[in-house]
Amino acid sequence: MAAAASAPGADAFAGRIAIVTGGGSGIGEALVRALAARGTAVVIADIDRAGAESVASSVTAGGGPVSTAVLDVRDAGAVSALVNEVAAEHGKLDFIFNNAGIAVGGLVEELTLDHWNRVLDVNLRGVVHGVHAAYPLMLRQGHGHIVNTASLAGLVPGPSLAPYAAAKHAVVGLSLSLRAEGASRGVKVSAVCPGFVDTPLLGRVNPDLPQTEIGANAAALARQLGRLYQADALAQDVLRGVQQNKALIVAPRSARVAWRMARYAPGFTMRSIISGVRRQGAQVAAAESAQEAQAAEPSGPAKSP
């Protein structure tokens, strides 16, 4: 049976139940705080027990109830078990935010298959596992909203982010396809596509994987593109987009501009990105040449015998 519509003026999140994967830090943590402040009962699902428990204990009193669950989204059975347990305990599941993810970066020739497999396992299959567990349940109950965290890199070309961009493009495609299937059956689907956000993820690129120069300097490189967006502001954008049932939630404004450019002027966008890659390569080559020249210079004047 479909859920009754909220009364006019009622908060769409009050009294609801949500699971947020990757809720122990970054965007996930901001979503947990925003949802709890709106009166949602939130389950923080994260592979990092300490991080999840820290977030849960710091959520301000008076918000919706918060609980934690240790979850590796690569484990389809564990994801399914959590979804079913939460639905059984609360009698429903209103939202699942498939948000857990990792960052992988570097030139394609530098990356190993371990880089590819890890980002696909977490960022794509982790979302697939959440959808596979929650969507049939939401169909049975006649309502629900699936929110998948993708990225601006899932909408525009992402040089030096090929595996990450591949996974995020797939999440966008999955979300839009599922949205079309679920629309007439009471289940809503949205994909979140933020630009660079100021989260710990930027300092953990290529986690437990061979590091690359781009991965090691990801935070500094991201800041060169402009001021990083704050996770709390993004969380408010996400809840607003969910309440409006947007297919794609793209934020901040600079990300929306980049997305529209890629949609309406794809050739110009690609030429601009290629030009930027060439410029960056030239700058790196110049810096390396300068270092080599400096190293070749004598350390001081020769001494007379």
Domain assignments of the chain as residue spans, ordered by start = 17-255
As its CATH architecture, domain 17-255 has: 3-Layer(aba) Sandwich (3.40)
What CA–CA distance (Å, rounded) separates 154 from 165? 5
What CA–CA distance (Å, rounded) separates 118 from 180? 29
What CA–CA distance (Å, rounded) separates 75 from 64? 28
Q: Is residue 245 within 8 Å of 190, Cβ to Cβ?
A: yes
Question: Residue 282 has what pLDDT?
Answer: 78
For the chain, which ranges sit under pLDDT 50?
1-5, 304-305
pTM listed for this prediction: 0.90
Q: Are strands 95-98 and 144-149 parallel, antiparallel or unpaired?
A: parallel
Percent of the chain clearing pLDDT 90 (strictly above): 80
Looking at the DSSP assignment, which residues form a beta bridge with residue 96?
19, 146
* Residues in Cβ contact with 188 at an 8 Å cutoff, skipping those fewer than 6 apart: 144, 145, 146, 179, 182, 242, 245
pLDDT digits 0-9 by tens, 88-147: 999 999 999 999 999 999 999 999 999 999 999 999 999 999 999 999 999 999 999 999
Confirm whether 164 is a catalytic residue. Answer: yes
Tokens 């939401």 belong to residue: 138
Question: Residue 292 has what pLDDT?
Answer: 66
